[in-house]
Chain A
Amino acid sequence: MYGYEITQKVKLITNGELAITEGALYPALHKMEADGLLDVEVQKVDNRLRKYYKLTESGTKETVNRLAELEDFIRNMQSLVSPTPNPDLQF
């Protein structure tokens, strides 16, 4: 995927709720590339150069870990917002 495609896909998936700006997206992509999480390939498309990004093997592993962390975080937040009473913890 290339930069503009990523911004459009995020917009589409979130029904326009989340808009990623160039200022946030490209530095993050460059950082991930420098950390070896992304592989890049430059191709000439319609008179201009286009940089395509794809996850490396370590990038895929990192994504799985981060998603698991995020799911844990969301679960914890949900239990804080709407706690279900646990009889074992009742005084």
Chain B
Amino acid sequence: MKITEVEIAKINAALIKAGINYADIRMELTDHIAAALEQEDGHGDFNHRLKGYMLNHKKDIRKMNFAAMRVAGAGSLKAFAANLLTLRILLVATTLLAGAKLASQYLDNSDMVFLMFNVFSASTVLCSYRPVMNMLRKKADYSFTHGLGFIPAVLFFPSIYMMRWLESFNVDYIILYYTAASVLALNIYFTTHKLFANYKKQYYV
């Protein structure tokens, strides 16, 4: 017996409850479970059969979730690295550096560091915008976003401390650091944008 749309929604909800929050994995598992339940030939109440399936395959489903997320995370890091070597990133880096050098002619060192920290903060907000908005709007979250999620966190703490290091470092090094950190943050935005577009193309049929 064919699984109905309402029953598909129930499978999807059961997977979310089981901790499968990522659209790309959940979509595939929904189809897998629906096909398995259809093959059982529809004996008994659907809710009961679904509960039974989830209980019997709980360990496998969890294992699959983590493993597929690891694969997607590694893929997104690879895309991130490949994106770093593009002309666009080179242009962004050159523009930021040139802008910073120009601003340093008019601002004193502490104002310059503060300005660069703000540029970095704005870049971080931009790179986090799409995943955060998706989370707030409860839109589909794809597993690859986890692969890049740690980069802003890694960049954030040294960037705060860098503001205090003006006495120990030459201001040029600090400008260079903030430029590099901002470029990395902007590259997260570009990579995420590209990956979202790829996933949309694949899943929005």
A residues neighboring B (CB under 8 Å): 2-5, 8, 21-23, 25-27, 30-31, 34, 40, 42-51
Contacts and interface: CB of A to CB of B under 8 A. Distances in A.
A61 to B, nearest CB: 21
Interface stretch (B57-65, B103-111, B118-126, B161-169): B57-65
B78 to A, nearest CB: 8
B35 interface: yes
B150 interface: no
The secondary-structure label for the interface of chain B is helix
A23 B71 contact: no
Nearest to B9: A47
Contact of B72 (A5, A30, A44): A30
Interface of B: 2-5, 8, 25, 27-32, 34-36, 39, 57, 59-64, 67-68, 70-72, 74-75, 78, 202-203, 205
Contacts of A30: 67-68, 71-72
Nearest to B67: A27
A51 B28 contact: yes
A43 B34 CA distance: 15
A22 B18 CA distance: 15
A43 B35 CA distance: 15
Contacts of A51: 27-28, 31
B68 A3 contact: no
Contact of A27 (B2, B64, B202, B205): B64
Nearest to B74: A34
15 contacts: A4-B36, A22-B60, A23-B60, A23-B63, A25-B64, A26-B64, A27-B68, A30-B67, A31-B71, A34-B74, A47-B8, A48-B30, A48-B31, A48-B34, A49-B30
B4 A49 contact: no
A49 B31 contact: yes
B28 A26 contact: yes
A4 to B, nearest CB: 4
A38 to B, nearest CB: 12
Nearest to A47: B5
B8 A22 contact: no
Given A42-B27, A48-B31, 10 more contacts: A21-B57, A21-B60, A22-B32, A23-B59, A23-B60, A23-B61, A23-B67, A27-B70, A49-B203, A51-B28
Contacts of B62: 23
